[in-house]
Structure 1
């Protein structure tokens, strides 16, 4: 066999069919051979004895706020953080930047920035907002992963929630384009009315916040979206679903043959409403962390593979927006900063509940690749795929601190949490970008990845 660029030897490789101790040979950024006891010479050899080789995580839901709000989080720090967590491809959401990604000009601007600054590969979502329906086709042709819309009030004047007519018009167009519509599904009428009631009562605490975003608000939005999708034929992806009842509605739609996928996030699995009461704004997100009983239901649903995939919904902000001393919790930023810890969180759950590692690889890598048109090159450790790997040990623990959390701002619900596992290396298209706690900047070279055309259509 020809000389190789890179060989990973003796690793416990998480293959689609199970974990196997074998070697992986890499040439020109691609996996060219998976074979035990490879003897081919290589420029570099990584001895992965007692380590697990996962396919690099594909995180379909992160918020890097560049351009315009890079001081919240940008591609440079954000991608370093993702690499430190074993993520080799992430999809950046279209809001929070200025301008938001709601037309091809804004998309081109973001592509240029990402190609210059990202340490690992990335995809980009486009937005569906009132008035931009005529911009969807150009963004689709340029290579967006899909489109994102909100059914709840965004609090972001650059990216407004979609009213029902916008949704219907947008869904019709997105279906014709062969793309997916991702939805933040909480009912704006319900959540806004409940919030106004609390404000009139002067009630601004953790319990009050939870009561303004009840499970019924998520379920109503999910059901409405499913009705519109059934009418228009639009493929849907529900983001950060936080309740078992919403999953029940989505499961019913799948049984009817609808083209629907769903994600949840690690913070809904590792944390619950008690943490919001204890920690305050650092644990505030939307939908909110649920009561402990609901948290346990979500864990069971993950184990039973009722969720299609796991994403971080990494949603950072500056310290003042997460001030733990804020009196009115409604005024704090509603997002969890923690994109670095998604794969570790899922491995923790796997170890606790005897979930096979190949199931974790499905949730964190192969399912996202298949859904969003990257499965020809990403998502699985197979010959011909990109050499994207997360190398993990379960012989060491990892305690999150402000020093080893690589996001721009260090306020995170995960600070102080100890994982029973550790990412020791991240390899993106054959290049080691993270090793032993350090980003290897000279190896960085993330690039924009586009989906296969019409990959979402079954």
Structure 2
């Protein structure tokens, strides 16, 4: 049988576990998996490499269009090039921080128009749940094909910017969940108690606190746990499928697991930065590592890793939320933008930390970066190396130490807390629907094969 291309000689992570097999690709799809598929097609030699499903990053912020306010933040060209270089073959884009936020049909189409011809990888779009789109916006987004919805119970958005995102009050959350339940789609929620964290932050700032450690202290664990409890109660009442974004504490994961046992349709994610950085080192790194929920104490990290290995955390994401350097370059951490640029560092850092340092099974690695995402959000063509799926792969070079430098970054703004650190694995090649979009040899391709799905 003739193929467009054949991946040979690699250790391939299949749905049943890793095997040394060939993978045949035709018309952008996986069409054959066997021990020897011959050489009738372009051969991609994966000797010494791990062949994984391409990562599906379920939590990415692209800020295009910028609406005249955020035009110099991350765009589709740079964001998807960073994805390609980082082994992310598709991602789910949040409905903020672009202007206007993605809350109805009109704003959805403005966003899609802004990205046309700029995508190196595939993009799925979130729709927003805000207090001002309860009169038809949710239904319009469903008809446009958003993959899921997103809401904040933490304070978000800039009220001086017309069309910016906005957090929900309890009624808007309840009513929005009732409406989203009818679409059958998932609502992802940023869970932090806004009144308490806002007030604690105000008090600390007025008292002259400036450090990242003090910032973390204004967002204690219980302010993350309490809204998760409320969300679970609302989910029981409305029947809405829910997903808790970027859980940073073991207590939050445990609440999700308990709710699952009670029959609630709920899942959760954590971020690469919660598994890598810790509170005690934040001030030595600087505001570039500020985020919310905050990065917590080092002695809390093992609990998150344990729950990930136990299958209690469904997926690992970047929450890539970049801005311009001036918004991070602050003496006072409380004044800095809260968001981490991490999209390009997902696979290499996580493979090193999870597989090489902690002996995570390769099947679990593939599950939490790809397979579970596809299953949870109904991405039927993605997420695993199986016949009929899109030919999306990341080829990983194990035991390949390298130091990330600013010039290596594809981001529009070359800032990230992952800089100047050594990682023990590298992305050797990224393939989207059968087409190479990055390799160590050739760099990032200028071919814009990506599409909005």
CA shift for structure 1 position 40: 4.7
- 8 Å Cα contact 2:349/2:424 also seen in 1: no
CA shift for structure 1 position 437: 6.0
Partner of 1:335: 339
Q: Identify the match of residue 327 of structure 2 among 321, 325, 332.
A: 321
- Residue 211 (1) aligns with residue 220 (2): no
- The TM-score with structure 1 as length reference comes to 0.95
Partner of 1:452: none
- 8 Å Cα contact 2:205/2:334 also seen in 1: no
The 3 A distance-change label for structure 1 pair 341 and 442 is: closer
CA shift for structure 1 position 438: 4.5
CA distance in 2, matches of 1:262, 1:170: 19
- Residue 164 (1) aligns with residue 170 (2): yes
Secondary structure at 1:343 match in 2: helix
Secondary structure at 2:4 match in 1: strand
- 8 Å Cα contact 1:237/1:261 also seen in 2: yes
Q: Identify the match of residue 262 of structure 1 among 248, 265, 268.
A: 268
- Residue 378 (1) aligns with residue 378 (2): no
Partner of 2:193: 187
Q: Identify the match of residue 150 of structure 2 among 143, 148, 151.
A: 148
Secondary structure at 2:47 match in 1: coil
- 8 Å Cα contact 1:80/1:439 also seen in 2: no
CA shift for structure 1 position 406: 1.2
- 8 Å Cα contact 2:320/2:342 also seen in 1: yes
Secondary structure at 2:21 match in 1: strand
CA shift for structure 1 position 443: 3.2
CA distance in 2, matches of 1:108, 1:307: 33
Q: Identify the match of residue 63 of structure 1 among 34, 39, 61.
A: 61
CA distance in 2, matches of 1:115, 1:223: 40
Alignment deviations for residues 87-143 of structure 1 (CA, whole Å, 9 cap, x no partner): 111011011111110111111121223332110101000111111012001101111
Partner of 2:438: 434
Report the RMSD for the aligned CA atoms in angstroms: 1.2
Partner of 2:425: 421
Partner of 2:5: 6
Partner of 1:308: 314
Secondary structure at 1:117 match in 2: coil
CA distance in 1, matches of 2:261, 2:31: 39
Alignment deviations for residues 26-51 of structure 1 (CA, whole Å, 9 cap, x no partner): 00000110111211511x21111111
Secondary structure at 2:410 match in 1: coil
CA shift for structure 1 position 344: 1.7
Partner of 2:87: 86
- 8 Å Cα contact 1:84/1:437 also seen in 2: no
CA distance in 1, matches of 2:59, 2:403: 24
CA shift for structure 1 position 328: 1.8
Alignment deviations for residues 349-379 of structure 1 (CA, whole Å, 9 cap, x no partner): 22111111110100000100011111x3110
Q: Identify the match of residue 49 of structure 1 among 47, 50, 55.
A: 47
Secondary structure at 1:25 match in 2: strand
> Which 5+ residue runs of structure 1 have no aligned equivalent?
450-458
Alignment deviations for residues 179-206 of structure 1 (CA, whole Å, 9 cap, x no partner): 1111010000110121122133222222
CA shift for structure 1 position 279: 1.5
Partner of 1:454: none
CA shift for structure 1 position 221: 1.1
Partner of 1:369: 374
CA distance in 1, matches of 2:45, 2:199: 58
Partner of 1:232: 238
CA shift for structure 1 position 263: 0.3
CA distance in 2, matches of 1:148, 1:28: 33
CA distance in 2, matches of 1:313, 1:194: 24
Secondary structure at 1:125 match in 2: strand
Secondary structure at 1:195 match in 2: helix
CA distance in 2, matches of 1:370, 1:161: 27
CA distance in 2, matches of 1:440, 1:196: 44
CA shift for structure 1 position 448: 1.1
CA distance in 2, matches of 1:381, 1:97: 33
- Residue 446 (1) aligns with residue 447 (2): no
CA distance in 2, matches of 1:200, 1:12: 56
CA distance in 2, matches of 1:205, 1:322: 13
CA distance in 2, matches of 1:9, 1:344: 21
The 3 A distance-change label for structure 1 pair 39 and 207 is: closer
- 8 Å Cα contact 2:77/2:120 also seen in 1: yes
- 8 Å Cα contact 1:322/1:411 also seen in 2: no
- 8 Å Cα contact 1:282/1:411 also seen in 2: yes
Count of aligned pairs between the two proteins: 444
- 8 Å Cα contact 1:81/1:340 also seen in 2: yes
